[in-house]
């Protein structure tokens, strides 16, 4: 069995040549939800108000959110 080594610039577990498991996108996104800041506006509403999104595009973006 062949043992792999970490790339020269890769972060490793201290004292070993083993790289930690790479977290999936779902793990990263679900780890800590970011709370809304007081006074923060919704970008979709802002883009729609500026004319960057039409009604169909806005409806499509609204249905994607859980």
Distance of CA 34 to the CA centre of its chain: 11
Residue 18 lies in a domain: no
Residue 53 lies in a domain: yes
pLDDT-based confidence at residue 8 (cuts at 50, 70, 90)? low
Higher pLDDT, 19 or 51: 51
In angstroms, the CA 13 to CA 5 distance is 12
pTM score: 0.38
Residue 39 lies in a domain: yes
Residue 42 lies in a domain: yes
Residue 1: pLDDT over 50 = no
Confidence (pLDDT) at 16: 75
Domain that holds residue 45: 34-64
Confidence (pLDDT) at 6: 53
Residue 57: pLDDT over 70 = yes
Residue 10 lies in a domain: no
Quickly tell me which residue has 């169909």 as its tokens.
Answer: 56
Residue 29 lies in a domain: no
Residue 3 lies in a domain: no
Distance of CA 6 to the CA centre of its chain: 25
Residue 4 lies in a domain: no
- Structurally, the chain folds into a number of domains equal to 1
């Amino acid at each position: 069995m062949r043992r792999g080594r970490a790339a020269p610039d890769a972060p490793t577990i201290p004292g070993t040549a083993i790289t930690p498991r790479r977290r999936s996108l779902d793990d990263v996104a679900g780890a800590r939800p970011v709370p809304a800041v007081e006074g923060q506006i919704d970008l979709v509403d802002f883009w729609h108000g500026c004319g960057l999104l039409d009604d169909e595009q806005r409806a499509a973006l609204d249905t994607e959110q859980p």
